[in-house]
Amino acid sequence: MEKESVDLKTLRARVKKQIEDAVPDVRIDYCLTCGLCASGCPATGLEDMDPRKFLRLLVLGQDEKILNTNWIYSCTMCQRCKYACPMGIDVGRIVYEIRGMRPKEKRPKNLQRSCDLQKKSNSTGIPNEDFVWVVNDVLEEVRQNEPQWKDLQAPIDKKGAKYYLNQNAKEPTVEPEEMVPLWKILHVAGIDWTYSSKWWDGANYCLFTGDPEDWEYTVRKQAEVVDELGCRYYINTE
Amino acid sequence: MSTPKGSVLVVGGGIAGVQAALDLADSGFYVHLVEKSSAIGGSMSQLDKTFPTNDCSACILSPKLVEAGRHLNINLLTLSEVLDVSGEPGNFTVRVKQNPRYVDPNKCIACGTCAQKCPKKVPNEFDLGLGKRKAIYLRYPQAVPLKYAIDPKACIYLNKPGRCGFCQKVCPTGAINFDEKPKELSLEVGTIILALGFKPFDPTSLDFTGYGKLNNVVTSMEFERLLSPSGPCMGHLERPSDKKEPKKIAWLQCIGSRDINRACHGYCSSVCCMYAIKQAVIAKEHAQSGDLASSIFYMDMRTHGKGFEAYYERAKEQGIEFHRARVHTVLPAENDNLTLRYTDTKGNVHEEEFELVVLSVGLETDPGVMKLCHELGIQLDQDNFISTTPFAPVATNRQGIYVCGAVCEPKDIPQSVMEASAAACKAQELLSKARWTETKKKEFPPERNVYAEPPRVGVFVCSCGINIASVVDVKEVTEYAKTLPGVVFAQNNLFTCSQDTINQMAEIIKRERLNRVVVASCTPRTHEPLFQETLREAGINKFLFEMANIRDQDSWVHQNWPEKATEKAKDLVRMAVAKVLGDEPLPYNQLPVTKKALVIGAGVAGMVSALSLADQGFPVCLVERKDRLGGHARKFFRTWQGQPMQEYLEELTKRIEDHPLVEIELGATVEEVSGSVGQFKTRLSNGKDVEHGVAIVAVGAESYKPRTGKWNYLYGKNPNVFTLLELDQRFIKADKALSGLNQAVFIHCVGSRVPERPYCSRVCCTHAIDQALKLKELNPDMDIFMLYRDIRTYGKREHLYQEAREKGIIFIRYDLEHLPVASEEDGNIVIEVEDQIIGERIRLHPDILVLASGVRPRDDVGELSKLFKCAMTQEGFLLEAHMKLRPVDFATDGVYLAGLCHYPKPVEETIAQAQAAASRAAMILSKDAVPAESITAQVNPMKCTGCGVCTRVCAYHAVAIDQNSGKAAVDTGLCKGCGACVAGCRSDAITLRNLGNEQLMAEVEAAMEG
């Protein structure tokens, strides 16, 4: 049986409109359908979708398809498409908006949970005391087992340190020894740095769920800590 | 304005500048042609072949350059730049800086010894750095002027005096002058024409193309040089990395065009689609292995010019692959190959390896040109091209300064040539009072009657420095020449073409009473006119002359066999002497000119041409078959840039009607035409006879109405289906109902680019999009869908396409296999069309359906073309003399064409073409008599049987059977000396003067004697 036609008696591209209101220079309508984005996109073909088709569905008001495709999680928002697009259209930015439009319960569970946890403290949900304990424990072990690093430092909450360093929560949780190489580099370089005992997670999960408020919240929390400690520079490891 | 100056400054020596200069110099003005490099020719001289005729670019350009270089009324100022301009229209003062050439052009004989000895090699900018040249160089082999120049940045001597200086030591004529200094000139001119050209876009900034990092990624201009026989690989296609012939080439379109992100060029460069197809076709021809695979990756294929669509279709048949897809990144692959990944319209990903990638780079304005425009107060547009308006397409914002070519918008060669003539036309209008006031005229002494004299042949054997003499024993050849029958004098010269030798030759002709001359030297292509002129100066007819090419065809090709080369030189001289003995003086035919023009068709094209000629002081008879002026333009609402058409038309018709020199014949057509250039006699349908020197055909075309058949789409059946022009009528009438529409659908290419009308109508995409925007203006909430095949908003029109998308107008592509389907439901229109990208059928419910139906030629054009002996294209448009370089001339002298009868075009191009036709016509009308061919066919009535074969084979309608004698007779005014009738004659009754069988046989026999 032949597929039913898409009836466009009145064109209502509500999602497109919403994105345009949120991102004034998004230029969805400028699309030439040239396919340059689709040729360069690593996610082309996943979920039977590509960046050009995605834009086209938006333009033709196929909102249901846009809101339901899981391709928005295949797209990594890397902006490779935008880099070379003759019209400079940022599909990643559009994907971000649409991710945010999806009800939380319909988002990928792990992603949403990580964001929710990060909003409380960190994305793995380990208590802050555990982070402090793990850092000190690993540091102690290195100092003892590797005599040449007996002076290695991993300061936490050091007021007035020049550099503030955040930490991806995965390492203290599952691979604590992975933190050490960076400490060593900073040590050799003679950098005056510190971790914080709260809001120390450098991951940015709320960026990927598409909720700007959540993302802003976690970033602001980190910023507050940096200000409290009086550090001049913020080193983001993510 | 006080008395205007009779001279014009043309800035830029590319094809546009050269054409403008030639038009003006041939119609009574003195021209200063300023060119910044060491030779004229511009970008066209760098091209290998030109589309759509595949003519060799240099071959069709060279004659024009040579003509400009030799023209008595063109002052060629190479290595020069304009500093500033003061004064007013009619009386400008221009300061020009002329940089030193360090080579005296009066002494340089282009022997090339200097460059051979020069030790300094630098990248050759003419080959875009793909090859090397010396610090002393010729810009290119056919350079005009053919004079070497020293590159002061590269020259060792100029940078460290005392070192090197080899060129000066070896130059046989002492032409090198290291002490030359820049000169400043002050020129008084009446008008200025800017023909500043373009610069190819530099794709280095687009890092994803790999250009500059991957060896086998080249620009299209570089590829032209790779293809060119005068290029770095002598026309044997090689890729840069390993000099191997590529077997698989990809072209990437729109590099630096239609890109507002990285390239910052929102416009379309107009020419790249066609040149890419041409390059793909030519590369296939060049490929020695014969199995070259070519792929072109594009967005919209823009083949909107005359003959272009057919060229595109032919390319597909020849196996060129066209992919509607763009490539994101050019990736390196093994063996210096390149990998391209692309997604087709259905969303499928493909990966393919190529051996060479050509970037079809766009055109942009050179920063130096922008600076000059700024200094001259010339306004540029948003894209940095010189601003013009549709109704004054070659006028800049500064009065008296005109513009032509790619500097005001990317465009192809014919369009540039058209505009060049249009600019020349505007200059003539402004300066018509000063015609012939500053021109020079060559005066010759009366010619000696040599009929009764026995032949006295003089032979001048040239050494050409060492070019000939190092291989051929010129002394021996000279002595040999003296022994030939009829030869009374022979002499060897170091450089026969040098000024002192030329003077000496004239003296010898007089002193020795020579009546035939042979020069054994180089090629007649460059030197015959010079020697012929010398004969005239010495008082003998210039046709008593022959050349033997003992350089290009002897010493240069037989360097390793000096003895045989000397023997061949003798053969060539013997042949030339045998031929010259039979030469007779020929008349310098002239045709007196009736200084009046006939313009047929009073649409915009006809009226603009007529008005321009009348403004220059020439009477015009303007014939219109309808009972009112205006033609097709009456139906138009506005130009694509928004100027109301009817206001313009009203002003134009008023000026025509009020002009004392224009006589208007309404309701009349042309019935009978006789005569030829300078002296036409035309009978009109109203019984009037018009005598005129020239004719301009501007009879327009018709809009196609899809009343029946495949392209009907309910037209004529549903009242809400319109053509573009019908919708224009509603705009003109300010129809309020239009604001109330909810949905409008436009279908493009209705009846165009289809088997029965295979050409693209050029104007409809832009027109339709402009109308869609107008509807959006009336009601911003209206949903508008454009169903198209390729959007062809070439040049600056691309901005309109972008604006349309920006405003939410939706473009859905269809192809001939998936046509939109129109039906009615309860009297309402329903359109079904597949959107290829989402792969679904879309159902639309338009309140109005607008059909962008194309332009079709008028059915009666054929009759008219026969009357004027003009040709037509297969499609039924009139055919110009040469698609590239003579876009407004017919093959019949004195007849020109303009407007839609030539090909569909927008009003700005129609106006430019009409002005161009006026310029070409003024070249005739400004003279009392025009020269005609001297070497014409001659009928021997004793042999002629009156069979009439000659009349049928003559392309110029110059032969007719005389009613009284029953024998063929040649009209020497029409005869071009092509020889078709001679070959066609079964009775050996026709000969070409000075090329008769006896003479040619004498030459052949002489060849056999040796």
Rounded to the nearest 10°, the torsion over CA B682, B687, B688, B691 is: 20
Question: Which tokens belong to B161?
Answer: 């005096």
pLDDT grade, residue B497 (50/70/90)?
confident
By Cβ distance, the residue of A38, A41, A87 closest to B260 is: A87
By Cβ distance, the residue of B328, B344, B841 closest to A40 is: B328
What is the helix (H) or strand (E) element at residue B768, kind and residue range?
Answer: helix B764-778
Please tell me the distance from the alpha carbon of residue B391 to that of residue B400, in angstroms, as a whole number: 16
Please tell me the distance from the alpha carbon of residue B909 to that of residue B766, in angstroms, as a whole number: 14
C-alpha pair distances (Å), B912 with each of A178, B549, B641, B795, B908: 73, 43, 16, 16, 6
Please tell me the distance from the alpha carbon of residue B871 to that of residue B874, in angstroms, as a whole number: 10
Closest CA to B1 of B110, B122, B91, B121: B91
Please tell me the class of the B936-992 domain. Answer: alpha beta
Across residues B507-511, what is the average pLDDT?
Answer: 96
Question: Which tokens belong to B681?
Answer: 């006699």
Three-state secondary structure call for residue A182: helix
Q: Could A5 and B840 be called an inter-chain contact, meaning their C-beta atoms sit closer than 8 Å?
A: yes
- What confidence score (pLDDT) does residue A2 get? 64
By Cβ distance, the residue of A6, A48, A87 closest to B261 is: A87
**What does DSSP assign to residue B660?**
T
Q: Could A38 and B347 be called an inter-chain contact, meaning their C-beta atoms sit closer than 8 Å?
A: yes
* Residue B451 pLDDT exceeds 60: yes
By Cβ distance, the residue of B208, B326, B808 closest to A35 is: B326
**What does DSSP assign to residue B4?**
P
Please tell me the distance from the alpha carbon of residue B314 to that of residue B281, in angstroms, as a whole number: 9
On the question of a common fold for B1-99+182-198+366-443 and B721-854, the answer reads yes
**What does DSSP assign to residue B387?**
P
Q: E strands of B814-863, at which residues?
A: 821-825, 828-835, 840-844, 848-853, 855-857
Please tell me the distance from the alpha carbon of residue B781 to that of residue B801, in angstroms, as a whole number: 18
CA-angle at A161, arms to A155 and A166, nearest 5°: 60
Question: Which tokens belong to B986?
Answer: 């079964």
* Shortest Cα distance, chain B CAs vs residue A29, angstroms: 5
* Shortest Cα distance, chain A CAs vs residue B299, angstroms: 5
Q: Could B806 and A29 be called an inter-chain contact, meaning their C-beta atoms sit closer than 8 Å?
A: yes
By Cβ distance, the residue of B206, B344, B841 closest to A6 is: B841
Closest chain A residue to the Cα of B208, Cα to Cα: A84
Question: Which tokens belong to A94?
Answer: 């559009």
Q: E strands of B740-853, at which residues?
A: 743-750, 783-788, 810-813, 821-825, 828-835, 840-844, 848-853
* Residue B225 pLDDT exceeds 60: yes
Q: CB–CB of B585/B544 below 8 Å? A: yes
Beta-carbon pairs below 8 A across chains A and B = 127
**Residue A25: CB partners within 8 Å, gap ≥ 6?**
none
If one counts every other C-beta atom within 10 angstroms of the C-beta of residue A171, the result is 21
Q: Could B347 and A50 be called an inter-chain contact, meaning their C-beta atoms sit closer than 8 Å?
A: yes
Residue at B413: amino acid letter: I
Q: Could B326 and A36 be called an inter-chain contact, meaning their C-beta atoms sit closer than 8 Å?
A: yes
Chain B hits for A78, CB-CB cut-off 8 Å, are: none
Q: Could B843 and A45 be called an inter-chain contact, meaning their C-beta atoms sit closer than 8 Å?
A: no
Q: Can you list the alpha helix ranges (DSSP code H) found in chain A?
A: 14-22, 36-40, 51-59, 63-68, 80-84, 91-101, 109-120, 128-145, 170-174, 180-188, 205-209, 212-229
Please tell me the distance from the alpha carbon of residue B173 to that of residue B500, in angstroms, as a whole number: 12
Please tell me the distance from the alpha carbon of residue B701 to that of residue B971, in angstroms, as a whole number: 33
Instruction: Considering the domain delimited by B592-700+858-930, tell me its CATH architecture.
Output: 3-Layer(bba) Sandwich (3.50)
- Residue range B103-159, pLDDT digits in tens: 999 889 888 899 999 999 999 999 999 999 999 999 998 899 989 999 999 999 999
Across chain B, mean pLDDT equals 95
Q: Could A8 and B843 be called an inter-chain contact, meaning their C-beta atoms sit closer than 8 Å?
A: yes
Residue at B949: amino acid letter: V
Residues paired with residue B248 on neighbouring β-strands, in sequence order: B293
Q: Could B743 and A29 be called an inter-chain contact, meaning their C-beta atoms sit closer than 8 Å?
A: no
Indicate the length of chain B as a whole number.
Answer: 1010
| Topology (CATH level 3) of domain B457-581 | Rossmann fold (3.40.50)
Mutation site, A2, A8, A50, A80, interface B, largest B CB count within 10 A: A8
Q: Could A52 and B837 be called an inter-chain contact, meaning their C-beta atoms sit closer than 8 Å?
A: yes
* Residue B976 pLDDT exceeds 90: no
Instruction: Give the strand order in the sheet containing B248-255.
Output: B217-219, B356-361, B248-255, B293-298, B321-324
Q: Could B261 and A57 be called an inter-chain contact, meaning their C-beta atoms sit closer than 8 Å?
A: no
By Cβ distance, the residue of B260, B742, B838 closest to A56 is: B838
- Residue range A72-111, pLDDT digits in tens: 999 999 999 999 999 999 999 999 999 999 999 999 999 9
**Residue B413: CB partners within 8 Å, gap ≥ 6?**
B15, B44, B50, B884, B885
* Residue B897 pLDDT exceeds 60: yes
Q: Could A38 and B343 be called an inter-chain contact, meaning their C-beta atoms sit closer than 8 Å?
A: yes
Query: Domains in chain A, please, with CATH?
Result: 14-102 (1.10.1060.10), 125-235 (no CATH)
ipTM: 0.90
Q: Could A39 and B844 be called an inter-chain contact, meaning their C-beta atoms sit closer than 8 Å?
A: no
Closest CA to B487 of B459, B461, B467: B459
Q: Note the CATH number of domain B1-99+182-198+366-443.
A: 3.50.50.60
Portion of chain B with pLDDT greater than 70, in percent? 100
CATH number for the B199-364 domain, one of 3.50.50.60, 3.30.565.10, 3.40.1160.10, 3.40.50.1240? 3.50.50.60
By Cβ distance, the residue of A39, A50, A86 closest to B261 is: A86
Q: Could B261 and A11 be called an inter-chain contact, meaning their C-beta atoms sit closer than 8 Å?
A: no
Domain B721-854 has CATH 3.50.50.60: yes
If one counts every other C-beta atom within 10 angstroms of the C-beta of residue A229, the result is 17
C-alpha pair distances (Å), A111 with each of A106, A204, A208, B194: 11, 10, 8, 63
C-alpha pair distances (Å), B971 with each of A47, B441, B976: 77, 28, 10
Please tell me the distance from the alpha carbon of residue A191 to that of residue B600, in angstroms, as a whole number: 88
Interhelix angle B645-658/B604-615, nearest 10 degrees: 40
Closest chain A residue to the Cα of B207, Cα to Cα: A84
* Residue B487 pLDDT exceeds 90: yes
- What confidence score (pLDDT) does residue B1 get? 58
**Residue B912: CB partners within 8 Å, gap ≥ 6?**
B393, B394, B415, B418, B419, B422
Q: CB–CB of B9/B32 below 8 Å? A: yes
Q: Note the CATH number of domain B100-180.
A: 3.30.70
Predicted TM-score (pTM) of the model is 0.90
Q: What is the DSSP string of B528-595?
A: HHHHHHHHHHTTS-TTSEEEEE-IIIIITT-TT-HHHHHHHHHHHHHHHHHHHHT-------EEE---
Q: Could A40 and B329 be called an inter-chain contact, meaning their C-beta atoms sit closer than 8 Å?
A: yes
- Residue range B10-57, pLDDT digits in tens: 999 999 999 999 999 999 999 999 999 999 999 999 999 999 988 889
Q: CB–CB of B628/B607 below 8 Å? A: no
* Shortest Cα distance, chain A CAs vs residue B802, angstroms: 7
Three-state secondary structure call for residue B103: strand
Q: Can you list the alpha helix ranges (DSSP code H) found in A23-127?
A: 36-40, 51-59, 63-68, 80-84, 91-101, 109-120
- What confidence score (pLDDT) does residue A237 get? 82
- What confidence score (pLDDT) does residue B236 get? 86
The domain segmentation of chain B, as residue ranges, is 1-99+182-198+366-443, 100-180, 199-364, 457-581, 592-700+858-930, 721-854, 936-992
Per-residue pLDDT of chain A (238 residues; tens, 9 = 90+): 467 899 999 999 999 999 999 999 999 999 999 999 999 999 999 999 999 999 999 999 999 999 999 999 999 999 999 999 999 999 999 999 999 999 999 999 999 999 999 999 999 999 999 999 999 999 999 999 999 999 999 999 999 999 999 999 999 999 999 999 999 999 999 999 999 999 999 888 999 999 999 999 999 999 999 999 999 999 988 7
Q: Could B342 and A39 be called an inter-chain contact, meaning their C-beta atoms sit closer than 8 Å?
A: yes
* Shortest Cα distance, chain B CAs vs residue A48, angstroms: 8
Closest CA to B293 of B333, B245, B259, B334: B245
C-alpha pair distances (Å), B680 with each of A87, B615, B955, B977: 56, 22, 18, 21
* Shortest Cα distance, chain B CAs vs residue A20, angstroms: 12
Q: CB–CB of B465/B109 below 8 Å? A: yes
Three-state secondary structure call for residue B294: strand
Q: CB–CB of B16/B420 below 8 Å? A: yes
Please tell me the distance from the alpha carbon of residue B807 to that of residue B1005, in angstroms, as a whole number: 78
Chain A hits for B262, CB-CB cut-off 8 Å, are: 84, 86, 88
* Shortest Cα distance, chain B CAs vs residue A3, angstroms: 8
Q: E strands of B847-975, at which residues?
A: 848-853, 855-857, 871-872, 878-879, 895-897, 929-931, 937-939, 959-961, 968-970
Q: CB–CB of B232/B127 below 8 Å? A: yes
By Cβ distance, the residue of B347, B783, B832 closest to A53 is: B347
Across residues B629-634, what is the average pLDDT?
Answer: 95
- What confidence score (pLDDT) does residue B495 get? 80
